[in-house]
Amino acid sequence: MIFWIVCAVLTLAVALIMAAPLLRPKPASSDNPDIAIDRAQLDEIDRDLAREVLAPDEAERARAEVARRLIAADRAASADIGASAPSRMLPVVLTAALLAMALGLYWQFGAPGYPDLPLSARLAASAEMRENRPGQEALEAAAPAPPAVEVPDEYRAAVEQLRAIAPTRPDDLEVWRMLARHEVEMRDYAAAATAQAQIIAIRGDAAEVSDLQRLLDLQVVAAGGWVSPEAEALLRDILERAPGNIAARYYLGLLYNQTDRPDLALRFWSEIIEEGDPQNFHVANARAQASDAAFRAGVDYALPETRGPSFADMDAASELSAEEQQEMIGGMVAGLANRLATEGGSAQDWARLIRAYGVLGDTDAASTVWAEAQQVFVGSMRGMEILTNAARDAGVLQE
């Protein structure tokens, strides 16, 4: 109610300020040339009478004629002032118009009926939303069905057979891996998540972070993109084992973004955006949502520029021969190496160069870059983790 009272008072104040100049009567003009001439003639008659140029009776007749013209001119001026006087309905019409425009704008761009939300209330509402959100099973049931996949009947029959065999072999790791892979092919992500959970149960303590991350991906996809309490528990387990895991950090940011805490979402996303590979699935998704989260959080955030081949470059490369593609890739790698040597770069850029040399088969260059990168990022635990993974992928890590 206070909000509407304030709006009404402000609207009336603006209307009065705008109407005041229009309601103010126009002052009578003293510059009317007819009145000025008539008054000058009266003064001239008086002077002529004093100098005895005019006879008294002639002066009286002249004075009467001038007075008649003066009265007529004064009446005309008064009529003009009355005709230009503002209408008393003007402030009413103006106020009504401003009020209608204000209500229309608020109805279009505002939030009618939305209660006042101080920061403490918003934080409490967000916490309650996270606490009471649906579980994995409920989210899977509510998620829209994925598009049907076109597969041969023989393949579909084989998958059905595998679905029947897997429960009879609860400890057969290879069977459950096959089932998880083929359930993804069939786009039954809930069943794939169940199979992946069985894989983790079979591996026990030997289960790797990559196994947990795959289960996390499947759970979120099966839930229609929502992070369930079960998925949250899983991602926090991943972060305990690997605090820098990009997938877990992305999904934790997604959870906060889905529960009205875009400020916390942006905090997690900005870290993986600035350090991660833009072509990574989770980094790309974080980049796609970061600007909206920043807007809702009231933060001025600009996405860092990505450096790499453009879509036009990739389209052009697809039309080249194998030798020409190799030459083009070599040119890109040389450009990246030159930029890192002259301008420096992030750990991800150095890791990209190490992997590129590994793909090209130039292990000597990959080893040299790996050694240089270690000197640059020796004080960064996260940077060394990124570089170590790249060196391992390129086959130059001495373990």
Per-residue pLDDT tens over the stretch 129-179: 889 999 999 999 998 888 777 888 999 999 999 999 999 999 999 999 999
CA distance 275 to 278: 9
Q: Is the pLDDT at 310 greater than 50, yes or no?
A: no
Residue 220: per-residue pLDDT: 93
Average pLDDT of the chain? 80
> 219 with 276, same domain?
yes
Q: Which of 285-294, 327-336, 365-374 has the lowest mean pLDDT?
A: 327-336
The CATH number covering residue 159 comes to 1.25.40.10
Please give the residue that has the higher pLDDT: either 329 or 284: 284
Residues 344 and 228 occupy one common structural domain: no
Domain end, chosen from 247, 269, 297, is at 297
With a cut of 50, say whether residue 124 has pLDDT above it. Answer: yes
Q: What is the pLDDT of residue 239?
A: 94
**Within-domain flag for 82:** yes
User: Are 291 and 318 members of one domain?
Assistant: no
pLDDT reading at 253 higher than 90: yes
Is 195 inside any structural domain? yes
The residue-averaged pLDDT of 190-219 equals 94
Contact 387, 377 (CB under 8 A): yes
Asked if the structure places residue 81 within a domain, the reply is yes
**Residue 268 structural domain:** 130-297
The reported pLDDT for the residue numbered 306 is 60
Q: 242, 271, 297 — which closes off a domain?
A: 297
Query: Is the domain of 274 the same as that of 335?
Result: no
- Residue 285: its H or E element: helix 281-297
**CA atoms in the 13 A half-sphere facing the CB of 350:** 27
**Does residue 366 belong to any structural domain of this protein?**
yes
Nearest to 231 by CA among 208, 250, 204: 250
pLDDT higher at 167 or 46:
167
Between CA 127 and CA 260 the distance in angstroms is 9
Look at residue 347 in the predicted model and tell me its pLDDT: 79
pLDDT band at residue 120 under the 50/70/90 scheme? confident
Mean pLDDT is lowest, of 35-39, 236-240, 376-380, for 35-39
- Do both 145 and 227 map to the same domain? yes
DSSP H or E segment with residue 235? helix 229-241
Instruction: Let me know whether 385 and 353 are in one domain.
Output: yes
Q: Which of 281, 285, 339, 287 shows the shortest CA–CA distance to 308?
A: 339
Q: How far is CA 146 from CA 143, 160, 266, in A?
A: 9, 18, 29
Q: 132: which residues sit within 8 A by CB, 6+ positions away?
A: none
Residues 98, 199, single domain; the answer is no
Helix (H) or strand (E) holding 195: helix 189-203
Q: Coil, strand or helix: which one is 346?
A: coil
380 within 8 A of 350, measured Cβ to Cβ: no
Buried b (16+ CB within 10 A) or exposed e, 4-32: eeeeeeebeeebeeebeeeeeeeeeeeee
Same domain, 139 and 237: yes
Output the pLDDT for position 86: 52
Contact 278, 287 (CB under 8 A): yes
Does residue 113 register a pLDDT over 50?
yes
- Tally of domains in the chain: 3
Same domain, 173 and 83: no
Once rounded to an integer, what is the mean pLDDT over residues 266-284? 84
Q: Tell me how long the chain is.
A: 399
What pLDDT, on the 0 to 100 scale, is given for residue 311?
Answer: 44
Q: How much is the pLDDT for 87?
A: 58
Averaged pLDDT, 206-226? 93
Flag whether 305 is in a domain: no
Do 225 and 196 share a domain, yes or no? yes
DSSP 222-277: HTTT---HHHHHHHHHHHHH-TT-HHHHHHHHHHHHHTT-HHHHHHHHHHHHHHS-
- For range 271-278, the mean pLDDT: 81
Phi, psi of 246, rounded to the nearest 5 degrees? -65, -40
How much of the chain, in percent, has pLDDT values that exceed 70? 77
Between residues 214 and 323, the one the model is more confident about: 214
Number of Cβ atoms within 10 Å of the Cβ of 382? 13
Q: Which residues contact 3 (CB under 8 A, 6 or more apart)?
A: 116
Distance (Å, whole) CA 382 – CA 350:
13
Specify the pTM. 0.57
Alpha-carbon gap, residue 293 to 61, rounded angstroms: 90
Residue where a domain terminates, one of 266, 297, 328: 297
116 found inside a domain: no
Within a domain: 125: no
The letter for the amino acid at 368 is T
- Is residue 269 included in any domain, yes or no? yes
What does the pLDDT read at residue 315? 52
| Maximum mean pLDDT: which of 4-18, 124-138, 358-372 | 124-138
